[in-house]
Amino acid sequence: MRTKFIAGNWKMNCNRQQTRELIAALLEATKPISKTTIMVAPPFPSLHVASEILQGKNISLGAQNCFWEDQGAFTGEVSVGMLKDVGCRYVILGHSERRQYFKETDQDVNRKIHAALRYDLLPIICVGESLEQREQGSTLKIVEQQVRKGLEGFSPQQANTFTIAYEPVWAIGTGRAATPHDAVEVHIMIRSTLNDLFGSKTAEMILIQYGGSVNAENSETFIQEEEIDGALVGGASLKADSFSKIILTTEKYS
Which residues of this protein are in contact with ligand PGA, per CB under 6 A?
Answer: 9, 167, 172-173, 211-214, 232-236
Q: Quote the radius of gyration of the chain (alpha carbons, Å).
A: 17
Is 95 tagged catalytic? yes
Minimum CB separation from ligand PGA for residue 215, in Å? 7
State the Cα–Cα distance between residues 254 and 98, nearest whole angstrom. 30
Q: Do 66 and 78 meet the contact criterion of CB atoms below 8 Å apart?
A: yes
DSSP letter at 226 equals T
Residue 84 or 98 having the CB closest to ligand PGA? 98
Is 77 tagged catalytic? no
Minimum CB separation from ligand PGA for residue 13, in Å? 10
State the Cα–Cα distance between residues 36 and 218, nearest whole angstrom. 18
Minimum CB separation from ligand PGA for residue 114, in Å? 22
Residue 116 or 233 having the CB closest to ligand PGA? 233
Residue 116 or 211 having the CB closest to ligand PGA? 211
Minimum CB separation from ligand PGA for residue 176, in Å? 9
Backbone angles phi, psi at 167, to 5 degrees: -130, 100
Of 97, 104, 144, 167, the catalytic one is 167
Of 95, 129, 144, 187, the catalytic one is 95
Minimum CB separation from ligand PGA for residue 92, in Å? 8
Q: Do 127 and 143 meet the contact criterion of CB atoms below 8 Å apart?
A: yes
Got the DSSP string for 114-176? HHHHHTTPEEEEEE---HHHHHTT-HHHHHHHHHHHHTTT--HHHHTT-EEEE--GGGTTSS-
Residue 202 or 219 having the CB closest to ligand PGA? 219
- The residue whose Cβ lies closest to ligand PGA is 234
Residue 123 or 234 having the CB closest to ligand PGA? 234
State the Cα–Cα distance between residues 123 and 64, nearest whole angstrom. 10
Backbone angles phi, psi at 64, to 5 degrees: -95, -5
Q: What's the Cα-to-Cα distance from 185 to each of 49, 140, 166, 174, rounded to whole Å?
A: 39, 9, 11, 21
* Catalytic residue numbers, as ranges: 95, 167
